Amino acid sequence: SPLYDSAEYMVAKADEYNFHYGLLFAISMQESRGCIAIPPGSHNCWGYGIYGDKVTTFDSYEEAIDVVSAGLYNNYIQKGLTTPEAIMKKYTPSSNGSWAYAVNFFFDKLEE
């Protein structure tokens, strides 16, 4: 994964915002296969702010990790949306549950 070199940074950001680092990894796996399939040059492994014709881009993986970590904390976790199922309802409301299932699957793989 292109995120390999950013793993420690992802853990540090998750620690800063007091959520499990696995959430960043699992969402990136669900959204882009760990940053394998992203809009060219976007550094956006999380599908963050990507819908319709809109594509949110970042100058680097670190910038993306900063913005996504803060966004997860401020827009989801701080509002009590702490599980993939709860996050899914706002992050990707059109999902039939498969998004949360996949995020949980990848999160569980980290715990093995």
Each residue's pLDDT tens digit, 43-83: 999 999 888 889 999 999 999 999 999 999 999 999 999 99
pLDDT digits (tens, 9 = 90+) for 27-41: 999 999 999 999 999
pLDDT at res. 112 = 75
Whether the per-residue pLDDT at 6 is higher than 80: the answer is yes
CB 9 within 8 A of CB 29: no
How far lies 9's CA from each of 15, 36, 57, 102, in Å? 10, 19, 19, 23
Coil/strand/helix, residue 54: strand
Q: How many CA atoms lie within 13 A of 83 on its CB side?
A: 5
pLDDT at res. 51 = 84
